[in-house]
């Protein structure tokens, strides 16, 4: 049975293992903390459908113009992000964060490279349907809590026409890379028919559940959307908006880059800290490991690291990820992956000055 392990427990577990695993630390080589590969590339050339945009069935059936308008903003999202300065993107998003939420995207960590690494690219539901179903089937195979693929009714078939929007609609997204998908829409519709809300990732599912869900449109992790809304009765999927944003970080210069399926075997016998092990990132990693026949185990309480397996350690979020946490590698989302790597390099440069 899987157990959810909080970041604090994971940190302690990794630290305790560090003393007994010389292969993880390799003191004879130089310590580092740098990006060593992309989970998206290892999964497949186009990445994997990580976050999707859904819309209330009542909006889809009652105001096609609003649906067509929102889709048009999503279709222009990648071009907007590519042609806009990161500081302007941060400014566009700033007013939409819920009170009390500290944005994970800020002027210090959002660079052009990070924006690119977040893989924001819209694919309409009709075109993404088979890829999403295939991906979800793979997730189901490694996650016993996820038992059935979404119905055909979950996938929006298109047909909405541009025109006059009849009402006012709320749009929600979780903090982090998925929020970037809204930046173009926010820049285009200030004071218009749509109100935008970026909320904590842990609360996003609550915006589409209950008797009167708050979100008319919502960006969700693909597995959460399929689990909660897969029947297609209350919401349907308009399209995929992000295609993976998880990167491997290595802690030692002697460790291999993870840029091919064959290179995954270098993880055997080592610890890999995984942010969101029980969600899309960790499940996708497990799909890739199983596809390539690389043995692994999840180090929940009481388990010892194995020399013949990849040892996966859960981290609740990226805040405790770092070279001092004791794992050999980490799987971490953007923008934290680039920001933490840059922070380590700055500290090293300061120490060598």
How high is the pLDDT of residue 12?
42
How high is the pLDDT of residue 1?
41
Average of pLDDT values for 276-280?
Answer: 93
d(CA 175, CA 345): 26
Phi and psi at residue 160, to the nearest 5°? -65, 140
pLDDT digits (tens, 9 = 90+) for 211-238: 999 999 999 999 999 999 999 999 999 9
d(CA 218, CA 266): 39
How high is the pLDDT of residue 346?
87
Task: Please report whether residue 1 resides in a domain.
Answer: no
pLDDT exceeds 90 at position 59: yes
How high is the pLDDT of residue 30?
87
Q: Domain check: are 250 and 234 in the same one?
A: no
Bond into 335 cis (ω within 30): yes
Average pLDDT, the chain: 89
Task: Please report whether residue 220 resides in a domain.
Answer: yes
Handedness of CA 262, 268, 270, 271 (dihedral sign): positive
Q: Specify the higher pLDDT residue, 301 or 40.
A: 40
pLDDT digits (tens, 9 = 90+) for 282-324: 999 999 999 999 999 999 878 899 999 999 999 999 999 988 8
pLDDT digits (tens, 9 = 90+) for 6-23: 443 344 444 433 333 333
Structure tokens belonging to residue 37: 């590969």
How high is the pLDDT of residue 6?
41
Query: Which of 7, 43, 109, 90 lies closest to 246, judged by CA?
Result: 43
Q: Domain check: are 39 and 92 in the same one?
A: no
Rg of the chain taking only CA atoms, in angstroms: 21
Looking at 187, 217, 242, the residue that finishes a domain is 242
Q: Domain check: are 161 and 63 in the same one?
A: yes
How high is the pLDDT of residue 24?
39
Q: Domain check: are 15 and 97 in the same one?
A: no
12-16, 114-118, 131-135, 208-212: least confidently modelled range: 12-16
Q: Domain check: are 171 and 302 in the same one?
A: no
Task: Please report whether residue 58 resides in a domain.
Answer: yes
d(CA 70, CA 165): 11
Structure tokens belonging to residue 267: 């993880």
What is residue 132's DSSP assignment? H
Q: Domain check: are 114 and 132 in the same one?
A: yes
Structural domain for 57, as ranges: 51-242
How high is the pLDDT of residue 94?
96
Confidence of residue 190 (pLDDT cuts 50, 70, 90): low
SS3 content of the chain, % helix, strand, coil (to 5): 45, 20, 35
């Amino acid at each position: 049975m899987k157990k959810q392990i909080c970041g604090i427990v994971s940190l302690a577990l990794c630290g305790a293992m560090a003393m007994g695993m010389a292969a993880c630390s390799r003191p004879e080589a130089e310590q580092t903390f740098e990006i060593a590969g992309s989970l998206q590339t290892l999964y497949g050339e186009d990445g994997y459908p990580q976050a999707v945009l859904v819309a209330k069935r009542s909006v889809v059936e009652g105001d096609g113009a609003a649906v067509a308008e929102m889709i048009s903003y999503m279709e222009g999202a990648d071009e907007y992000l590519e042609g806009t300065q990161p500081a302007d993107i941060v400014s566009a998003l700033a007013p939409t964060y819920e009170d009390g939420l500290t944005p994970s995207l800020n002027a210090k960590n959002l660079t052009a490279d990070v924006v690119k690494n977040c893989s924001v690219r819209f694919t309409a539901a009709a075109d993404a349907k088979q890829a999403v179903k295939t991906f979800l089937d793979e997730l189901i195979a490694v996650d016993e809590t996820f038992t059935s693929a979404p119905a055909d009714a979950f996938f929006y078939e298109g047909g909405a026409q541009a025109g006059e929007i009849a009402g006012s609609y709320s749009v929600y997204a979780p903090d982090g890379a998925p929020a970037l998908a809204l930046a173009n829409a926010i820049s285009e519709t200030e004071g218009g028919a749509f109100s935008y809300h970026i909320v904590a990732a842990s609360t996003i599912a609550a915006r589409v559940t209950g008797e009167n869900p708050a979100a008319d449109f919502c960006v969700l992790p693909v597995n959460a959307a399929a689990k909660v809304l897969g029947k297609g009765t209350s919401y349907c999927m308009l399209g995929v908006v992000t295609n993976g944003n998880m990167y491997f970080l290595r802690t030692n210069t002697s460790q291999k880059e993870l840029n091919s399926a064959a290179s995954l075997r270098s993880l055997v016998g080592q610890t890999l800290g995984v942010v969101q092990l029980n969600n899309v990132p960790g499940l996708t990693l497990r799909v890739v490991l199983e596809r390539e026949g690389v043995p692994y185990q999840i180090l929940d309480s009481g388990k010892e690291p194995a020399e013949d397996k990849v040892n996966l350690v859960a981290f609740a979020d990226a805040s405790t990820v770092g070279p001092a946490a004791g794992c050999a590698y980490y799987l971490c989302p953007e923008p934290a992956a680039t920001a933490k790597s840059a922070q380590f390099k700055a500290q090293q440069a300061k120490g060598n000055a």
